[in-house]
Amino acid sequence: MLFLWLYMFYSCAGSCAGLAARGSPAPPRAAPPLLPGEPGEESSLEEQRAAPDAGSPISSFFNGSGTKRLPQAIIIGVKKGGTRALLEFLRVHPDVRAVGAEPHFFDRNYERGLAWYRDLMPKTLEGQITMEKTPSYFVTKEAPARISSMSKGTKLIVVVRDPVTRAISDYTQTLSKKPDIPTFESLTFKNRTTGLIDTSWSAIQIGIYAKHLENWLLYFPIRQILFVSGERLISDPAGELGRVQDFLGLKRIITDKHFYFNKTKGFPCLKKAEGSSKPHCLGKTKGRTHPDIDQEVVQRLRDFYRPFNMKFYQMTGQDFGWG
């Protein structure tokens, strides 16, 4: 049946086109699509997803085309929270197309313009979601206003993790690149004798989630931001992916059957990665062994973060269970 349909499709292609050309005037050429935020376009998420594609899905199938769209959803943070794992897991979904590398558009490359940004995106068919992830957006003061200017309907995802563990992981990553940096303990304090925490150190500052979230809530309602637990992304990846798929309006295709737990690395891996039939784990830069940190310093950090964590729980309506 399929072969018969294909034969009829190709047989008709030339003759039907000729009949159309002789029998009716050519349709007017469509105007090029406007970028969200340009005059004349409403840029809500629903309207972006409902906008017509460059061609029908069947024509896109035959000519390999699609349309490059600005992202309807962005993973905005946080660094060392599990954003790479979340993106790789999401890319298994047939209705998610994502940029592999971090574009850093809203923090480092904004002057290049939306057309440059859109050109980085993969082509998508009607009904597919375009995504990107750049964890530094969450702590970039200008990012909320800039993303809102692109589209007020953009859905935002934040992967958060115990801020103390996150800070140690952040330090571990830096240590792997610069082995001669000072110790974690010495960088943590402005004055260790008084116990004053150095909040200017980015490894500490990123984990004050409530402070950063306040900036985002000036531009986006809380219902438009999904907070993913970095801990649960490890212990129950399918459960967290279920929440993410629901948030994005996607069918729950990614389930338990897609994961297996890698005991050596200490986190879940995909049984089959996007476009592959082989198992896939994140690279060697993920799951590094953390250095031993003075437990007194760890406790002081936990005491420091506690009030910020409590406020974050109140703001999000979620208790992440960080001690």
According to the annotation, is 161 in a ligand binding site?
A: yes
295-316 vs 163-177: helix axis angle to the nearest 10? Answer: 120
**Residue 163 and residue 208 in contact, taking contact as beta carbons nearer than 8 Å:** yes
- Verify whether residue 80 is a known catalytic residue: yes
* Preceding omega of 298 cis (within 30 degrees of 0): no
According to the annotation, is 169 in a ligand binding site?
A: yes
Cα 44 from chain centroid (whole Å): 18
According to the annotation, is 287 in a ligand binding site?
A: yes
Cα–Cα dist 288/169, whole Å: 8
Cα–Cα dist 101/2, whole Å: 38
> How many CA atoms lie within 13 Å of 41's alpha carbon, on the beta-carbon side?
21
Q: Which position among 79, 80, 133, 155 bears the catalytic label?
A: 80
According to the annotation, is 289 in a ligand binding site?
A: yes
According to the annotation, is 286 in a ligand binding site?
A: yes
Tell me how far CA of residue 281 lies from CA of 88, 99, 257, 286, in angstroms. Answer: 9, 18, 15, 9
In this structure, what DSSP letter does residue 278 have?
S
Q: What residue numbers does the annotated binding site cover?
A: 80-84, 161, 169, 286-290
Q: What residue numbers does the annotated binding site for 3'-phosphoadenylyl sulfate cover?
A: 80-84, 161, 169, 286-290
Q: Which residues are catalytic?
A: 80
